[in-house]
Amino acid sequence: VLAQGAWVTIWISLSIIPGAALGAVIFGAMRLSEAPAVRIPSIVLIELIRGPSALVLLFWVFYALPLIPGMPRFSPVAAAILVLTLDGAVYGAEIVRAGIEAVHRGQTEACHALGLSKIQSFTNVILPQALSQIVPAFGSLARSMIKWTSLVSFVGVQDVLYVADYVRGQTYATVSVFCLLGAFYWILTLLCAAAFRGLEHALPLNRALRAARVSMQVTPDMKLRAGPAR
């Protein structure tokens, strides 16, 4: 039973983290837009979602939203994925914004000089360089998002916390059940951290920096082996 609940938690985590990453890039780019018609609504939307807690937003979407005429009624899983994805996206948007601003402005000016459009400059030049700053910070956010999934049990999703509480009520093995629960979240966050470290290691800019460091180390060694110049 606990394994079934664990699979639900893993499935929700795998759904919300990529969605939040995509939403963070979109919101972050809109947040830095030069057009006020794009920038201002994005700032307002980000602050509206960041203001209340994720649990209040989940209750609002699942319980209150269907009471408004014309609004859809979401299933517990759909409401949970929607709310946690949006919450992760707006927090990730600030990470994306900081990463983009860390790229030297001369890169943007060079793109304009080459005649690249703003979209081409962003997707081909700016964002790939900013990812070296974005990915480590978003990895920490992703670990927090895994722990946010425990909120979905409040709307009836049978995740690992929901099932563990049910098992505890049936067996009265409170200590062992919650020790297993804590170990499960610990392992899951460690796997998430390892995945993001691998992703960070594979980024093109980081690979180029490692290659440059290796070449700088090799050159002095070759000079030492060659001996003094005659």
In three-state form (DSSP H/G/I as H, E/B as E, the rest C), the secondary structure along the chain is CHHHHHHHHHHHHHHHHHHHHHHHHHHHHHHCCCCHHHHHHHHHHHHHHHCCCHHHHHHHHHHHHHHCCCCCCCCHHHHHHHHHHHHHHHHHHHHHHHHHHHCCHHHHHHHHHCCCCHHHHHHHHHHHHHHHHHHHHHHHHHHHHHHHHHHHHHHCCCCHHHHHHHHHHHHCCHHHHHHHHHHHHHHHHHHHHHHHHHHHHHCHHHHHHHHHHHHHHHHHHHHHHHCCCC
CB-based burial label for 131 (10 Å; 0-12, 13-18, 19+) = buried
Residue range 123-127: mean pLDDT, rounded: 81
User: Per-residue pLDDT tens for 175-217?
Assistant: 999 999 999 999 999 999 999 988 888 877 666 666 667 777 7
At 148, the amino acid letter reads: W
* CATH, domain 2-226, list 1.10.3720.10, 1.20.58.410, 3.40.50.2300, 3.40.50.10420: 1.10.3720.10
Q: What is the pTM of this model?
A: 0.84
Q: Residues 188, 146: contact at Cβ < 8 Å?
A: yes
Identify the pLDDT of residue 147. 92
Identify the pLDDT of residue 224. 52
Least confident of 25-34, 61-70, 78-87, 217-226: 217-226
Q: Band of the pLDDT at 100, cuts 50, 70, 90?
A: confident
Identify the pLDDT of residue 51. 86
CA-based nearest residue to 137, from 94, 102, 104? 94
Identify the pLDDT of residue 122. 79
Which residues fall within 8 angstroms of residue 8, CB to CB, at 6 or more apart? 157, 158, 159, 160
pLDDT at residue 230 is higher than 60: no
Integer-rounded Cα radius of gyration of the chain: 23
Q: Band of the pLDDT at 111, cuts 50, 70, 90?
A: confident
User: Does 86 or 224 have the greater pLDDT score?
Assistant: 86
Among 33-42, 55-64, 214-223, top mean pLDDT goes to 55-64
Least confident of 69-83, 153-167, 185-199, 204-218: 204-218
- Using a pLDDT cut of 90, give the percent of the chain over it: 48
At 33, the amino acid letter reads: S
Q: Please, what is the average pLDDT of the chain?
A: 86
pLDDT at residue 18 is higher than 50: yes
pLDDT at residue 105 is higher than 50: yes
